[in-house]
Amino acid sequence: MAQAKPSTECRPRGRPPIRSDEETKQIVFDAARHAFAVDGYAATSTEGLARSAGISTKTLYRLFPAKAALFEAMCADRLERLLADIHLQADDEVDIETGLRAALLACADLALDPDVVALQRMVLQESAAFPELAANFYKNGISRTVKALAGWLRAQVKKKLIALDDVDEAAGMLIGMIASAPQRAAIYGGLPLLSRKDIERRAKSCAALFLDGCRGTST
């Protein structure tokens, strides 16, 4: 009986496909988020981050010339992805209260995202030694959320559905109303973040308070 001939199928040779810089950055961001949350900013070394991401220190420094630049890029990337999901376009088919609830819910989804809260906790812990961390976090996240909500409110003012003297200030107040207390409870009190149902209930209450107030009728 003739022996079966060995397979002539050839495996591809050469180096494995080269990962793009954008793909490498995402791997570094994942490693950095974990390291910063567990060890803190000061205790996290660039060498350790490079090892965790499976790249050389040289490659890490090529992508991010300093740890501060990596932190800023990491925050901007995460917040950019979350902000991309925030849709605050004015909808003429819904009433002002329903629209405001939806807008507040979208902002709360960002402000109370577990990754964002973890970053905020780390920023607060490290801000005395590294004040630029707080400045970058505010610029890339908090101020942009307020700006998005202010744009939505401005559209309602233009349609004469509400009247506001300072739209930007009102947006900041609303963000504080929907998110500040739950954030503080999680960061300082160690309490769990609100469930989706609780966030929806809070958005409903905030919208009613903002639009109608809570002063009792005098007799």
User: Does one domain contain both 57 and 132?
Assistant: no
Identify whether residues 109 and 27 lie together within a single domain: no
Same domain, 126 and 145: yes
Q: Are residues 44 and 91 in the same domain?
A: no
| Residue 3 domain flag | no
Q: Give yes or no: residues 59 and 145 share one domain.
A: no
pLDDT of residue 65: 94
d(CA 212, CA 219): 19
CATH number of the domain within which 119 lies = 1.10.357.10
Give the pLDDT score at 25: 95
Q: Quick one: pLDDT at residue 139?
A: 81
Is residue 16 situated within a structural domain?
no
Q: What is the pLDDT of residue 215?
A: 82
Contact 137, 119 (CB under 8 A): yes
The boundaries of the domain holding residue 116 are: 76-212
Give the pTM. 0.75
* Phi and psi, residue 41, nearest 5°: -70, -50
pLDDT tens series, the chain, 219 aa? 445 454 444 544 545 557 899 999 999 999 998 888 888 888 999 999 999 999 999 999 999 999 989 988 988 888 777 776 666 665 667 899 999 999 999 889 888 988 888 888 888 888 888 888 888 888 877 788 888 899 999 999 999 999 999 999 999 999 999 999 999 999 999 999 999 999 999 999 999 999 998 887 765
Do 83 and 164 fall into the same domain? yes
Return the structure tokens found at 94. 């819904």
Give CA separation, 153 vs 75, 146, 190, in Å. 26, 10, 33
* Number of domains making up the chain: 2
